[in-house]
Amino acid sequence: MWTTTMASTWLAGFTVCLSLIVSIGAQNLYVLRQAVSGEHVRACVAWCVVSDALLIGIGVAGMAQVLGESPTLAYYLTLGGAIFLLAYGLMALWRMAVPAGAASATDGPAAPTAAARRGLWRVLGALVVITLFNPHVYLDTVVLVGTIGARQDGSLKWIFVLGAACASLAWFVMLASAGRRLQTLFAKPLAWRVMDGFTGVMMLALAWWVYSGLESTGGA
């Protein structure tokens, strides 16, 4: 039976998760890019929701406490996140700078054509790397959300995780919908270059922001 306590716990999970994922990050921009190009969008959304739920669940199950008690590990996760965001930003700026004709040699063409479209596993493989090899993701999902969820009593922990998963689903469905609405605009190669330029600048800014927070992790 669904009680008021369960509903408030679900809402807490939904709100906390939504407040963290509604931001300009590498994963969000990748999903938006796939939605605009129309490549395997549903699979990308499914992966993002499942991975968020699993990582938050791991945090709730106890990993958040382990990471919280290890300042050195938190330091290297933060440093790794900054390096990851820096590399991702530089790659986006490279795509912007490379002429459209030469972009086919890179992983992200300026304006994907039917001949240049990638297979499902290649698209998902890139998204898996962006998700799991970005250490900052673990700080958000496992540590921050996981710590809050771990404070819930008994089975309410998993109601919290359910709320977080619902927030993830709502966000990525909206992101995919927004991408589809922008397909006409991104029919022009220049729009892709502008998007890559914006992505690059934002990733470099986020890398600096994450790096600036290294002192708060306690150092190695």
pTM value is 0.73
Q: What is the tens place of the pLDDT at every residue in 97-134?
A: 885 544 443 344 444 554 456 789 999 999 999 898 88
**Which of 35, 209, 61, 53 is closest to 131 using CA atoms?**
53
* C-alpha separations of 135 from 1, 81, 105, 120, 198 in Å: 38, 5, 28, 24, 22
Q: What is the tens place of the pLDDT at every residue in 41-89?
A: 999 999 999 999 999 998 888 776 776 677 777 778 778 878 888 888 8
Number of H helices, E strands in the chain: 10, 0
Average pLDDT, the chain: 81
Q: Are 108 and 193 in contact (CB under 8 A)?
A: no
Q: Report pLDDT for 217.
A: 52
